[in-house]
Amino acid sequence: MSVPVITIDGPSASGKGTVAAIVAQRLGFHYLDSGSLYRLLALHARKLDVAWDAELPLAALATTLPAAFEQGRVWLDGNDVSEDIRAEEIGIGASKVAALPAVRAALLQRQRDFAVLPGLVTDGRDMGSVVFPQAATKIFLTASADERAARRHKQLIGKGESANLPRILQDIIDRDTRDAARAVAPLRQEPDAFLLDTTELTIDQAVETVLRCFGQSQASGI
């Protein structure tokens, strides 16, 4: 690809967003949190009273989704919704709308348009398999379900929100199952993606691993 692209795919709460954002900052690349687009759509649909299983109405909303990513914040129709889209309920809604083929098709080109010089780091569930299949550096970042639940629980407690660890763990397991089983762009590790298990790693260690993979792909001329 003429524009360097690093894709970081993985399951919910694996830390891929945090790692991707830091890698983008370190390299001076643009950053796309693809999951935010689906979270924005789920939130937008909820505000407009559109059901999360209404495929065609949701696809229509996706084509005109008034979304913007500026200064590290996420905007919907001119309103800062960076915190709103991180609610557990909206995350569940995002997983549901993301399973709809018409919705994914509507958001495909919008995601690809983020690939501009000097480069792009993007995270999601099908970045390396569907959106940027020719990316030189593909990472599949994961962690055990127990570790991911513990991280999410700590994050919510840190925000002063109530959090039930067993429920969070079950939600993560359910979402993993749903994401892996969906008919369109299921969550999976591509054959040419590097498996990065962060269960026992710090964020800094994960970031350094991704940067090392990128450096190796650049050196080999991939």
Q: How do the residues of the chain divide into helix, strand and coil, expressed in percent and rounded to 5?
A: 50, 15, 35
Mark 103-135 as b/e (b = at least 16 C-beta within 10 Å): bbebbeebbeebbeeebbbbbbbbbbbbbbeeb
Would you list which residues are annotated within the binding site for ATP? 10-18
Longest dimension (CA), the chain: 50
Instruction: pLDDT tens for the chain, 222 residues: list them.
Output: 589 999 999 998 899 999 999 999 999 999 988 888 999 999 999 999 999 999 999 999 999 899 887 777 889 999 999 999 988 899 899 989 988 999 999 999 889 988 999 999 999 989 999 999 999 899 999 999 999 999 999 988 998 888 899 999 999 999 899 888 877 778 889 999 999 999 999 999 999 999 999 999 888 765
Would you list which residues are annotated within the binding site? 10-18
The 10s digit of each residue's pLDDT in 116-175 is 999 999 999 899 999 999 998 999 999 999 999 999 999 889 988 888 999 999 999 998
Phi/psi of residue 141, nearest 5 degrees: -100, 125
Gap between the Cα atoms of 36 and 33, Å rounded = 6
Q: What is the CATH number of domain 5-214?
A: 3.40.50.300
How crowded is residue 70: how many other Cβ atoms within 10 Å of its Cβ?
8
**pTM, rounded to two decimals:** 0.83
Domain ranges of the chain: 5-214
Element at 121 (helix H, strand E): strand 120-124
